[in-house]
Amino acid sequence: MAKVAFIGLGVMGFPMAGHLKVKGGHDVTVYNRTAAKAASWAAKFGGKSAPTPAEAAKDADFVFTCVGNDDDLRSVTSAKDGVLQSMKSGAILIDNTTASADVARELYAAAREKGVDFIDAPVSGGQAGAENGVLTVMCGGDEATYEKARPIIDAYARMVGLMGAPGAGQLTKMINQICIAGLVQGLAEGIHFGKRAGLDIEKVVEVISKGAAGSWQMENRHKTMSEGKYDFGFAIDWMRKDLGIVLDEARSNGAKLPVTALVDQFYGDVQAMGGNRWDTSSLLARLEK
């Protein structure tokens, strides 16, 4: 059993911290910006809550962060009450936020100055994956640190991999979002076309999902998309945040991402329709308006 701190109890962090406590059997202390959410977690899982990130991280062997963006991450790690102000030498900071590769490298350096190790470890699998403890975790950092962290991460994951040096986890997550963006747009166009052609979408998907066109998105989202239901996971606001990170990185490294840039604009159209909190499959709504 390890002493663990978890910072950030959103739709992903809340169940992830729960798996660390229940499945992992660890001694878990949590912090959340809204204290009532931390108290609710402690009441549900039997852990403890703390008033600041630094207090939660004090004496912890492993500290997890799962917050909104680069600035949020700096706030809970490097600010006056951030975790790096109290983490003990030899502890490991594991960041599950989807953030930039630049901030991952920045935190790696800041952690090392404090005698702390760091892994950037963004996740994929959405709210359902977090709740069921079957997330995919993409890690960047030193191999020795990763080997120590992996058994702890396993409590909420079904796939964990070390992708390379600090920042490599975030770069891999960017590729994940690039692939999802184009795939969902293609699925939206296919369903839209099928409806206009007068086909039975259920029958169409039953056939084509067993061939080269098949995907997780098709299997799990075609029915709700066809019915115009878009309350099943990752919100457009967060996807656009992620795609913004992707496109910034592409401008830096020279990658050409014409489809990703276009789909980002399409998500902007859905936001303009009032769909900020709709899930990413709502690209179909833009075609059917």
Provide the pLDDT for residue 124. Answer: 96
Residue with token string 């760091």: 118
Q: Is residue 61 helix, strand or coil?
A: coil
Contact present, 93 and 118 (Cβ < 8 Å): yes
pLDDT tens by residue, 116-146: 999 999 999 989 999 999 999 999 999 999 9
> Which CATH number fits the domain that encloses residue 61?
3.40.50.720
68 and 105 part of one domain: yes
The H-or-E segment that residue 37 falls in is helix 35-45
Q: Length of the chain, please? A: 289
Q: In whole angstroms, what separates CA 199 from the centre of its chain?
A: 36
139 and 214 part of one domain: no
142 and 112 part of one domain: yes
| Residue 154, domain extent | 3-164
The 10 Å Cβ neighbour count of residue 149 is 24
Residue with token string 């079957």: 134
pLDDT tens by residue, 47-92: 999 999 999 999 999 999 999 999 999 999 999 999 999 999 999 9
185 and 112 part of one domain: no
In whole angstroms, how far apart are CA 96 and each of 42, 66, 187, 288?
20, 5, 28, 35
- Contacts of 2 by beta carbon, 8 Å cutoff, 6+ apart: 24, 26, 27, 61, 62, 152
Contact present, 88 and 108 (Cβ < 8 Å): no
Q: Which residues of the chain have pLDDT under 50?
A: none
14 and 111 part of one domain: yes
159 and 197 part of one domain: no
Q: Is residue 262 helix, strand or coil?
A: helix
> Which CATH number fits the domain that encloses residue 177?
1.10.1040.10
Residue of 173, 210, 223, 229 marked active site? 173
Looking at residue 180, its amino acid is I
Last residue of a domain, one of 164, 199, 217: 164
Q: E-strand spans in the chain? A: 3-7, 27-31, 48-49, 62-65, 92-95, 117-120, 123-124, 135-140, 157-164
The 10 Å Cβ neighbour count of residue 242 is 23
Active site residue 173: yes
The 10 Å Cβ neighbour count of residue 266 is 18
158 and 182 part of one domain: no
28 and 121 part of one domain: yes
pTM of the model as a whole: 0.95
160 and 176 part of one domain: no
Q: How many domains, the chain? A: 2
Looking at residue 67, its amino acid is V
Provide the pLDDT for residue 206. Answer: 96
